[in-house]
Amino acid sequence: MTTPFRLALAATAATLLLAGCASDTGTRPTPAASSHATTRSTAPPAPAQRSSHHATAPSDASLPEQTGIPACDDYLSSYLACHRAAGIFSAEQLPLRYEAMRTNLLRDSQNPDVRPQLGERCNSLARSLREALHGKSCSPNPAPAGSTP
């Protein structure tokens, strides 16, 4: 008699455990880099999804011209030409997307909590962009093979 009781008790406990896990709303934070690294779109998140560090970020007027992180500065300098070559955004959307990306990276470069991860985030964005290019050049008119700069 005790074996069926134990089996029923174990089944009930397992059911309750699974039910508790199923109702989990995902309260664990996700890394900021992964949200941008796996997508081809570099669109900024909607304002409601922004993390709390943007609330205390410096105003756009006080942002520096560059991030000071070579990977991010390189990514921003090639953003327009490479996105145009890849055809990711329409010509009308591209300047707005660039400004949004630039502002977010500049703000994040000023945040000491985010800055250490920014280099890898920009490298990941650049890798995704290279994949979207499928071997195309970012420059509008590539130089002939035998020419010198």
Q: Is residue 148 part of a domain?
A: no
Q: Is residue 118 part of a domain?
A: yes
Q: Is residue 84 part of a domain?
A: yes
Mean pLDDT for back-to-back runs of 10 residues, the chain (149 residues) = 64 55 49 44 47 50 90 94 91 94 95 95 94 86 53
* C-beta separation of 33 from 124 below 8 A: yes
The reported pLDDT for the residue numbered 2 is 63
- Could you tell me the residue range of the domain that residue 112 belongs to? 72-138
Q: Is residue 102 part of a domain?
A: yes
Q: Is residue 46 part of a domain?
A: no
Q: Is residue 99 part of a domain?
A: yes
The reported pLDDT for the residue numbered 139 is 76
Q: Is residue 109 part of a domain?
A: yes
pTM flag (> 0.75) = no
Contacts of 44 (CB under 8 A, 6+ apart): 97, 100, 101, 104
Q: Is residue 91 part of a domain?
A: yes
The reported pLDDT for the residue numbered 62 is 85
What is the total count of domains within the chain? 1
Torsion, Cα 26 41 33 113, to 10 degrees, reads -100
The reported pLDDT for the residue numbered 68 is 95
The reported pLDDT for the residue numbered 112 is 95
* C-beta separation of 82 from 88 below 8 A: no
The reported pLDDT for the residue numbered 70 is 95
